[in-house]
Structure 1
């Protein structure tokens, strides 16, 4: 018996050694990936501009000046009190953008490691009038960041917003929001209309973000608070039992998106625990299924994962919720 115990411990130790060694080699390879991109603090350029500078700014950044607006609109915006206050608050929060640039550089390196054809976009910071639905816009060779959406959940600009929205308006989520935008470019939305396929679609996205941001906290990746992630982990078995007992996995009821996948103040089980739960628990559960699958299939790359059918991932994951 003692021999078997020692042998079992030896096997575990050997597996851990090779796993750590593989991770170290991957991290070393990623650190050598070269990415070249420019960060333009357009929010500051506009804040420091005068009416005489508008023509030059439009020539340099035409995509930031919709043609239906005349120069007089932009000239008026230069002296608008709300615009000036937004610029001042952003300047306080992002006096230096060095830390954020370092995080974005690491993110781009990881993405290019897994997707070698990737070319890093030009990063342009803007004031978006707290347009939180478009806080990150990734379009071809441009990445626009609305920095006024990252001033902290308690900021007075967000006083009228629902709590489930304002909690994510913090710089702690900036890099994970960019990672999500990148992931959406390579992760195709499923044609299969089942709840399970949509869960695993988001699970793939979150697993890819795991790989792109290995040093970030899990709550940041999924857009939760620490407390919400802890609640999800504690109640994972109950959530899964509900999904199975209510026969939701293969349902094509589109209302399940609003209940468990779309941004919301809480998930909608129709139970007393609803008000305690975070929204988007279907995404969280999809993440756990994908992680279980990848743990059992370590030779499958993140790129290969993206092309696998949801049903295959689910069946081969042998997913068992945490107790």
Structure 2
């Protein structure tokens, strides 16, 4: 092997290693100071309640779930936790309802083992605690919501309505929701939904930032943090896209960006326009009927990716606290 060839191999190896180092600069050893997540199965305990002795059973649930049970009563049963007679009656009706029993049986079958979800959440919470130790990490609960709520967040807990994550093909979903929404109603979406809910709660968008640009980059910022905290999850899963939808965006990234610029949409404060780029939908109307929904958020994520690559001295905390999205765009040197 000639010296010239050796030089080029060494040169490209250095470039490759530098690239990997830059890409992985936020990687940590999650085995060190690991935050272990254990999902509390309120769904299992509730279904095992003895309906012939409800008041005594309810007292036991209060004892076992002193934080979450009042939340469940308030958010799902829609009564005051102090109204014990109404609580007992509604719990009894809930447990004896044939539809609830059928759905709960499917929940117990689908989530007989939640180890993979706990592992993903443990990794994400370990990252979060490492970079933002002041964040209060919540306890995680599973419950059956009657197809009412997918996620409930309170200061000390996040509860997952497991009946809304039974898989895109679960037949009952077709009776109350659009088909394009069912793709993310699957077990794989639970951990990303939990972590993103916590991020949106802890890093809220400033109210004065109301342009399409601000919304795109705010969402992109949250997704960048999510990708750091869940490094082993495919980006398409974090985005809530199929692989085909993700590849469509990659293929037409330049055209999407050109369309946003051409329409002078970037600095628009028109909420209808903003929603058309960011909301869940079968496609992004201003772009193409072949596009997936929310391509504005996808582009926002790419801009934040570019910003963090171009400015490798910026920490995650600095990114999280950056609310000047026009400056972020300028410094990103984004050129699809």
The yes-or-no answer on 1:288 pairing with 2:299 is no
| Aligned partner (choices 150, 154, 159) of residue 144 of structure 1 | 159
Alpha-carbon distance in structure 2 between the residues aligned to 1:139 and 1:29: 29
- List gaps (5 residues or longer) in structure 2: 81-85
Alpha-carbon distance in structure 2 between the residues aligned to 1:299 and 1:185: 26
Aligned to 2:178: 162
Aligned to 1:90: 107
The yes-or-no answer on 1:13 pairing with 2:20 is no
Aligned to 2:58: 54
User: What is the CA-CA distance between 1:213 and the residue it aligns to?
Assistant: 0.7
Deviations 1:235-282 (A, max 9, x none): 11111110011111111111122210111121111x6x32x2111110
- List gaps (5 residues or longer) in structure 1: none
| Aligned 8 A contact 1:50 1:78 in 2 | no
Alignment of 1:1-323 (within 5 A): 10-18=10-18, 20=20, 27-51=27-51, 52=53, 53-59=57-63, 60=65, 61-66=69-74, 67-68=79-80, 69-131=86-148, 134-160=149-175, 161-190=177-206, 191-269=208-286, 273-274=288-289, 276-308=290-322, 309-321=324-336
Alpha-carbon distance in structure 1 between the residues aligned to 2:308 and 2:12: 18
Alpha-carbon distance in structure 1 between the residues aligned to 2:316 and 2:150: 26
RMSD: 2.3
Q: Secondary structure at the match of 1:277?
A: coil
Alpha-carbon distance in structure 2 between the residues aligned to 1:243 and 1:165: 25
User: What is the CA-CA distance between 1:5 and the residue it aligns to?
Assistant: 9.2
Q: Secondary structure at the match of 2:282?
A: coil
Q: Secondary structure at the match of 2:30?
A: helix
| Aligned 8 A contact 1:30 1:113 in 2 | no
TM-score by length of 1: 0.90
Alpha-carbon distance in structure 1 between the residues aligned to 2:333 and 2:152: 37
Distance 1:307 1:83, change over 3 A: same
| Aligned 8 A contact 1:58 1:64 in 2 | no
Alpha-carbon distance in structure 1 between the residues aligned to 2:296 and 2:254: 13
Q: Secondary structure at the match of 1:44?
A: helix
Number of corresponding residues: 315
Distance 1:11 1:113, change over 3 A: farther
Distance 1:167 1:24, change over 3 A: closer
TM-score by length of 2: 0.87
Deviations 1:174-231 (A, max 9, x none): 1111121121123231322221111100110110111011000111111111111111
Alpha-carbon distance in structure 2 between the residues aligned to 1:241 and 1:4: 42
